[in-house]
Amino acid sequence: MREKPFAYSLPLGAGKPSVWDNHIMRRLSSMKGQYLDQMVYETMLSSEDTLLYEVYEIKRPEAAGELLQGISIIHPGKVGDEYFMTKGHFHQVLDTGEVYYCLSGQGMIVMETPEGEAEVLEFRPGQVVYVLPRWAHRTVNTSLADDLVFYFAYPANAGHDYGTIEQKGFRKLVVERDGRPTVIDNPRWKQA
């Protein structure tokens, strides 16, 4: 791990950072139960375990004060009416936020608190979204042609809590309606 201040470049547009330590690839099979149209999901999965998104992480010690950062690339596509998206998570250390900066493509960030407040923000190149501490977050690629590419940074000790979203889902979903990304209430959202 780097032990001196360091610099690197992120291409403005699609592409990888100039350095990274970890390349995470998430495929359709890791999204079980997350897409509304489970029939379409199973059919797609039986023919191919499609790559949905990739994360290039620059590793830091999991210590308070360190910032974990990198870029994520969500490929274009849909499962039924729903766009390709990240799993989404709360942070294990709930009181930690996250910064996103959009480099390329178009998307939406779906967020909610444990108490049930929800917010969905558009995400375009040059825009920053600040995810407040306590808010779960998921990023959705609303283009069917281009990758959504964005930079992220969050406290390296935050950790990921995936379980809550895996069990309950998000309260809001982004679906295509009349060819446009539209935010709807999740009809399958479950109270704990």
Determine if 32 is a binding residue for ligand M6P (CB under 6 A): no
Rounded to whole angstroms, what are the CA distances from 69 to 100, 110, 191?
Answer: 10, 20, 32
Residue 72's binding partner, choosing from ligand M6P, Zn ion, none, with beta-carbon cut-off 5 to 8 A by kind? Answer: ligand M6P
CA dihedral over 49, 53, 59, 65, signed as positive or negative: negative
SS3 124: coil
- Which of residues 139 and 143 has its CB atom nearest to ligand M6P in the complex? 139
Determine if 89 is a binding residue for ligand M6P (CB under 6 A): yes
Pick from 60, 73, 98, 155 the residue near Zn ion by CB under 5 A.
98
Determine if 23 is a binding residue for ligand M6P (CB under 6 A): no
Tokens at 17, concatenated: 């950072």
Q: Counting beta carbons within 10 angstroms of the beta carbon of residue 164, is it exposed (0 to 12), middle (13 to 18) or buried (19 or more)? A: middle
Pick from 10, 78, 88, 149 the residue near ligand M6P by CB under 6 A.
88
- Write out the residues near ligand M6P by the rule CB under 6 A: 26, 55, 72, 86-89, 98, 152, 160
